[in-house]
Amino acid sequence: MSVDNTFESAHFSKMLRTVDVPGGVETVMEGQRAFGLISNAFEQLNGPIVVMGYASQGPAHANNLRTSLREAGSDVPVWVALREGSPSRELAEADGFTEENGTLVTPDVGLKNAGFLAMLMADGSMAGQGEEYLSKMRDGSVLGLAHGYYEGYLESQRRTIKEVAPQLAGVVGVCPKGMGPSVRKLYEQGSGINSSFALSSGDRQRMTDLGLSWSMGIGSPYTFQTTLGKEWRSDIFGERAMLLGGVHGMVEAVYAWKHQKGIGGERAYLESVETLVGPISKTISEEGLTGVFEALGSEKEREEFASAYNATYPVLKHLISKLYSDVSSGREIQEVFDDYSLESPKPQVDGGQMWRDGEKVRASMTDEQRRQIQIEPAVAGMYIAGMMAQVDVLRANGHYWSEVVNESIIEAVDSLNPYMAHKGIAFMVDNCSDTAQRGGRKWAPQFEAWLRQAVLPVVDGGRIKDSQKAGMLLHDDKDYMADFLNHPVHKALETFAKMRPPISISVTG
Amino acid sequence: MSVDNTFESAHFSKMLRTVDVPGGVETVMEGQRAFGLISNAFEQLNGPIVVMGYASQGPAHANNLRTSLREAGSDVPVWVALREGSPSRELAEADGFTEENGTLVTPDVGLKNAGFLAMLMADGSMAGQGEEYLSKMRDGSVLGLAHGYYEGYLESQRRTIKEVAPQLAGVVGVCPKGMGPSVRKLYEQGSGINSSFALSSGDRQRMTDLGLSWSMGIGSPYTFQTTLGKEWRSDIFGERAMLLGGVHGMVEAVYAWKHQKGIGGERAYLESVETLVGPISKTISEEGLTGVFEALGSEKEREEFASAYNATYPVLKHLISKLYSDVSSGREIQEVFDDYSLESPKPQVDGGQMWRDGEKVRASMTDEQRRQIQIEPAVAGMYIAGMMAQVDVLRANGHYWSEVVNESIIEAVDSLNPYMAHKGIAFMVDNCSDTAQRGGRKWAPQFEAWLRQAVLPVVDGGRIKDSQKAGMLLHDDKDYMADFLNHPVHKALETFAKMRPPISISVTG
């Protein structure tokens, strides 16, 4: 399959780069905060930018766009639309979006006036009320989505946005590859989170310019192209897999496994969570996936990595393939919508002993101690095997390299894991969207169980035969490590990782 | 809501009893092995009984029907139909269904000749090939289903069996409330497993007589009425909930919780699995749910039970309600079919340390030691709370008491748990249908995670506030124990439990 994921824009021509990826080329817009370029597309619209919803992505988009447009000397207004009684009103007001200055409005006023409406409500609420809201948008206005969930929801009902709102001039998606708080925090720190953009309908050139303007305005250091259909699949899949569910299940399984071996709770936490969100994530971010393997000092450690990798990859490949099928069929989207409608509660994810141990570890650890945490070779092998399984499943389903490496690797190590490092699992999962929170809760236990029952016994040696005896054929004698070391993903990751600005996220507060 | 779940049959009139249940009446056929009554309905058919498939339910139905008809002096033949190369051929031949004596045939021959076709293949296979198979059935033949999966599968595609096979004289379901091996084993031991029966289409009286004949022929000690729509919902739901997934997740969570408290592996196994499948199940079977509470010897133990009950019920009620919605929507059925089509593997369920500890416990325990295992009050409170949540969710969704108590309580303690007691979790789960095996694997980890993160910290005292702080509102101050002690289910359970024959299952081999 040859890869051709290119696009053009005369207005942004100086920012576009077409880069080689394994098997072809992709165009990427580099951000570099050229905010002077962004006002043009918004000024052509016949109304303000209205951000609807103010939970995860809303505050990031509203604040970043407002600041970027001011820096560009533009007077395009940015409004926030919230219903009466929304629990987010206080937060929006604290950020300067108030009724007094005319930038905090009701949904009806926002819908009636918006030239560009960024629909950033909770997914379930979007699915439930989207049709009513879209019908109220003015003729010729443009709908912006920060991910493809709503299109996926309509697709599961065999409908399209164009059918629901034929009066729109276009629909464009700009989808940050990180949680909303990261998008805001990195912007403030002078850096940013990469985004994908996707055109759904409307004039191709005009919507491209608008999407690129939106993406640069929220501070994306670079922007790559996808489709809404690919976006929602990779996004809903990725968060259920290694970004949230998979990594959560993995650290739970590893903690219990260490504990079983007689290792005390706090040390078990260090050797599961801290090694993963610390040196393993940092090394991946800076040196790539093979960099972790190469950083191991001894032959024995490399063997531990390889053995864990080989035990993990084939098992998680099966689970992750099944997960992709559950997502791509539309079932996960329908389930989230039902859960949302039924007000199905989300239990806390950190009630167990390991997260209480984690609190103690974080409270007592000095920066120096944190720097001295080592890479646990088996944990590194398992984690990277999970990432690689995710990469291979996304590639097999036709996702472009830009999306694959961002949804499988970069988002994890640059945006999400730092949140787990800072305050534990809940701080990571529950800063994400409702869809992600529910999906992470559902899938983490399944990753944990597969790892406990079918991977860790193999890592401990000698249980491969039992798995084969059970007729499950999860394992074989293939040397997955050899595939890993020669995998094209490393080239793709290098290409996209080096476009990032040099500042890493610093999570505080 | 007043309950009226009655039916009539002149032929079986002496076996029918209409019993009082909370809020109304239900008719039940008592079995009492009156095999003389069963040949009439089968003899009116224009061809043999053909059992298609020979995995979980197939062997039980084929062997039990053959024996019962012989005892009745009937010469209605019982055939088994299997495709060439089916891994079950050897087993069927060992049971006397052979090509030589004309009772082992190909699917095509079976479909062409059957007067009554019991379609007992794996659900996924049924979904994939059902349409082709049904189109080959002869005019005027009758389709028998051992549960409603296939109707549910068609319903999720907005189709019906009648549309797929209009030439059939009728469709009837007889659905044993236990795994196939239990249906066979208890029949041989002179007892049996209760079944529900459901009419889907065809002449009402004729199909009633055929369904009751089939049910009595496989040895059901009693038979109650449902619909295929209620049957597949309660069945697929029940196995994912407390029958398989819930009980598996619960013992994993309890084992780890005990282990965390410094209790060694083997003792932790005794205090999680053995207490549950031993004295707790036995007491429920003989004395009902409140019997367990009453069997506790001290006020302290009763408080432990009540406190665990109150911590568990509201949390599992949420999870189990969500589960019912996932099933009733058709999503679980579609997922099983996709997994089956993709040949998605089923990982072993007993690779972890606890099941290795369990092997040691079972190998070294004497019968005397087994008899001395005590009811663990907290485990009993948690388990019964899960059952009660399941009862309440089924009742809220309009299921009759007969189905509710069989799918929530009787099937667990009389049919399934004895298998876990005998050889561990895999021996229970993997003797069930493929649909059950997949569903149990999917849901057990979710029950475990909810219990670990949101229930056990509360059982340990003082974590309720944290849950409330997280805004999840899983717990409240309601006294669920008081509802439990006054619940109408106890009357219903007593009614249906006392109709069982006095012999309990003895699992060997």
Q: Is the pLDDT of residue A469 over 50?
A: no
- Closest approach of A446 to chain B, Cα-based (Å): 6
What pLDDT is attached to residue B379? 98
What pLDDT is attached to residue B498? 85
Give the pair of three-digit tokens for residue A444.
């983490």
Torsion angle, alpha carbons of A157, A158, A160, A165, to 10: -60
Chain B residue with minimal CA distance to A443? Answer: B446
> Mapping DSSP to helix (H, G, I), strand (E, B) and coil, where does residue A24 land?
strand
For A40-52, the pLDDT digits (tens) are 999 999 899 999 9
| pLDDT band at A157; cut points 50, 70, 90 | confident
Measured CA angle at A207 (ends A206, A208), to 5 deg? 90
For A204-224, the pLDDT digits (tens) are 999 999 999 999 999 999 999
How far CA B183 is from CA of A308, B191, B195, in Å, comes to 43, 9, 10
Give the pair of three-digit tokens for residue A449.
């169980």
Chain A residue with minimal CA distance to B316? Answer: A347
Closest CB to B351: pick one of A342, A350, A466. Answer: A466
Q: Is A456 on the interface with B (CB under 8 A)?
A: yes
Per run of 10 residues, the mean pLDDT along chain B (length 509 residues) is 88 95 95 91 94 94 97 96 94 97 97 97 89 95 93 90 94 93 91 92 95 96 95 96 98 95 94 97 96 96 96 95 96 92 88 93 93 96 98 97 96 94 93 92 97 92 50 69 96 91 69
Picking from B133, B159, B112, B115, the residue whose alpha carbon sits closest to that of residue B53 is: B133
Q: What are phi and psi of B443, to 5 degrees?
A: -90, -30
Q: Is A335 on the interface with B (CB under 8 A)?
A: yes
For B347-376, the pLDDT digits (tens) are 889 988 999 999 999 999 999 999 999 999
Q: How many CA atoms lie within 13 A of A128 on its CB side?
A: 14
Picking from A459, A268, A275, the residue whose alpha carbon sits closest to that of residue B353 is: A459
Give the pair of three-digit tokens for residue A77.
């207004």
Give the pair of three-digit tokens for residue A167.
């009066």
What pLDDT is attached to residue A476? 72
Q: Is A269 on the interface with B (CB under 8 A)?
A: no
Chain A CB contacts of B352 below 8 Å: 452-453, 456-457
Instruction: Give CA–CA dist A186/A195, Å, rounded.
Output: 13
Q: Is the pLDDT of residue A472 over 70?
A: no
Q: What is the β-pairing status of strands B142-145 and A222-226?
A: unpaired
Closest CB to B472: pick one of A346, A442, A466. Answer: A346
Q: What are phi and psi of B104, to 5 degrees?
A: -120, 115
For A14-41, the pLDDT digits (tens) are 999 999 999 999 999 998 789 999 999 9
Give the pair of three-digit tokens for residue A94.
């604290």
Q: What are phi and psi of B51, to 5 degrees?
A: -100, 120
Q: What is the β-pairing status of strands A195-202 and A222-226?
A: parallel
Radius of gyration in angstroms for the set of CA atoms belonging to chain B, rounded to a whole number: 23
Work out the end-to-end distance of chain A between its first and last CA atoms, rounded to an integer number of angstroms: 46
- Closest approach of B105 to chain A, Cα-based (Å): 27
What pLDDT is attached to residue B468? 39
Residue given tokens 């979904």 in the structure block: B127
How far CA B181 is from CA of A62, B158, B420, in Å, comes to 62, 33, 13
A338·B325 Cβ contact <8 A: yes
For residue B415, count CB atoms less than 10 angstroms from its CB and return exposed for 0-12, middle for 13-18, buried for 19 or more.
Answer: buried
What pLDDT is attached to residue A342? 85
Q: How many CA atoms lie within 13 A of A335 on its CB side?
A: 26
For A229-250, the pLDDT digits (tens) are 999 999 999 999 999 999 999 9
Q: Which amino acid, residue B285?
A: S
Number of neighbours of residue B345 by Cβ within 10 angstroms: 20
Closest CB to B345: pick one of A318, A338, A457. Answer: A318
Q: Is the pLDDT of residue A195 over 60?
A: yes
Instruction: Give CA–CA dist A474/A311, Å, rounded.
Output: 9
For A92-149, the pLDDT digits (tens) are 999 999 999 999 999 999 999 999 999 999 888 888 899 999 999 999 999 999 988 8
Q: Which amino acid, residue A104?
A: L
Instruction: Give CA–CA dist A87/B47, Å, rounded.
Output: 68
For A276-312, the pLDDT digits (tens) are 999 999 999 999 999 999 999 999 999 999 999 999 9
Q: Is A465 on the interface with B (CB under 8 A)?
A: no
Mean pLDDT, rounded, of chain A: 92
For A382-416, the pLDDT digits (tens) are 999 999 999 999 999 999 999 999 999 999 999 89
Picking from A235, A244, A407, A425, the residue whose alpha carbon sits closest to that of residue A333 is: A235
Q: Is A341 on the interface with B (CB under 8 A)?
A: no
Domain annotation for chain A: domains and CATH numbers: 13-224 (3.40.50.720), 238-497 (1.10.1040.10)
What pLDDT is attached to residue B52? 97
Q: Report the percentage of chain A scoring pLDDT > 70.
A: 96
Mean pLDDT, rounded, of chain B: 92
Q: Report the percentage of chain B scoring pLDDT > 70.
A: 96
